[in-house]
Amino acid sequence: MKKKTIFLLLVLVILASLFIPVTQQKTIVIKSPFLRVFSLLARPENWEQWRPDLRKYILADSNKITLHKDSGFFSIKYDLIKVDVKLQGNSFVIDDEDGSKTTSYSYEVVPVPDKLPGQTLLAVEKTTSAFKYLIGKFSADPFPDTHAGDLKKFMETDSLLYGFHIFKTKVPGAFLLVVQNKVLKKDEFTEAAKLLAILQQYVKTHNVVKVQPLIAQFTPTQKDTVQVKVGFYIDKEIKPDKMVAFNRMPKGGPLYAVRFSGKFNKRQQAYNALNDYYADRLYQSAIQPFEMYLDNKLPVSDTSHVKIQVNFSGYF
């Protein structure tokens, strides 16, 4: 009887120990600058972008999502889901409710300026039971309910973070013909068509071959004026004339690019993506960005559908 009692007590102690609160911790590296990671977490509207579960509900019915923001605190609620976030310095203390289940955890965002200037350390901590802790030892990721993996994926995937796939390419040719003119904003498309006609005639009469899709720049100079440039990459060097300028290009030089398909007046989205990409990496552009019109068609109005590649130059 005594042995049986001791055995039962031992079993009870073991069972009780399985439900003792245990703190789990891990640190992951996010390949994104500290300020971008911190600002993403500090604004509740951003959580709807990087959290797949919240994004799913936005797509289903965004009107049902409510945001509440106070000093050092915000809350996101949709139906049975509620996310409460407290800001404490560089830390975010989070309570995640999903129906009857609540998960409590925290993020601490730490900059790494010396060795990894473009990266951030994310220290994740959550409270769980000893039983769940032991089960987690056999899991590939014992922290899925903290969404740390979702955050890392979002920050390290250009198409998610910037809205576009950003890729590195090269200057497509060594010889470039350019015509340009400063015109009134209202005349930019008709002037671009005239400049294109000049180039087409020049290529024809000088026995050269256009080797890439046409390129263009529409650069505002003042409130009502635009500098319009149209260019062709060609197969050989020629002498310029009064109307057409000839440029030697660093063929093979680095470019970072985004493909955009949509209305001409919405293409700024692509520029914004590349500007943010460069700012995050402290890159500088060697020359003004230019657009490559992949179907060789210039826009005729602000609402023309265009297929372009926006190119930013770089030094490496």
> Based on the structure, what is the number of domains in the chain?
2
Beta-sheet pairing, 73-78 with 81-88: antiparallel
pTM: 0.81
Q: Are residues 241 and 200 in the same domain?
A: yes
In a domain, 97, yes or no: yes
pLDDT per residue as tens digits for the range 3-23 = 666 655 555 545 545 555 666
SS (H, E, C) 293-310: ECCCCCCCCCCCEEEEEE
Q: Are residues 188 and 250 in the same domain?
A: yes
Residue 263 main-chain phi, psi, to 5 deg: -70, 140
Q: Are residues 230 and 301 in the same domain?
A: yes
Whether the per-residue pLDDT at 136 is higher than 80: the answer is no
Q: CATH number, domain at 54?
A: 3.30.530.20
CA proximity to 286, closest of 247, 260, 309, 253:
253
Which residue in the block uniquely carries the two structure tokens 């976030």? Answer: 85
Q: Are residues 184 and 280 in the same domain?
A: yes
Q: CATH number, domain at 269?
A: 3.20.80.10
Q: Which range marks the domain in which residue 24 is found?
A: 18-156
pLDDT per residue as tens digits for the range 27-49 = 999 999 999 999 999 999 899 89
Amino acid present at 44? P
pLDDT confidence bin for 145, thresholds 50/70/90:
confident
> Looking at 122, 156, 190, which one is the last position of a domain?
156
Task: Please tell me the distance from the alpha carbon of residue 232 to that of residue 226, in angstroms, as a whole number.
Answer: 20
pLDDT confidence bin for 64, thresholds 50/70/90:
confident
Q: Are residues 133 and 213 in the same domain?
A: no
In a domain, 1, yes or no: no
Which residues in the chain belong to E strands, given as ranges? Answer: 21-30, 66-70, 73-78, 81-88, 91-98, 101-111, 120-129, 166-170, 175-184, 215-220, 225-234, 245-248, 254-263, 290-293, 305-313
The mean pLDDT of 254-269, rounded to a whole number, is: 96
In a domain, 73, yes or no: yes
In a domain, 2, yes or no: no
Q: Are residues 178 and 219 in the same domain?
A: yes
Task: Please tell me the distance from the alpha carbon of residue 259 to that of residue 265, in angstroms, as a whole number.
Answer: 15
Tokens of residue 103, six digits = 């998960």
Task: Confirm if 44 and 67 have CB atoms less than 8 A apart.
Answer: yes
The mean pLDDT of 46-66, rounded to a whole number, is: 81
Q: Are residues 232 and 268 in the same domain?
A: yes
Q: Are residues 151 and 173 in the same domain?
A: no
Task: Confirm if 119 and 32 have CB atoms less than 8 A apart.
Answer: yes
Q: Are residues 144 and 217 in the same domain?
A: no
Q: Are residues 211 and 147 in the same domain?
A: no
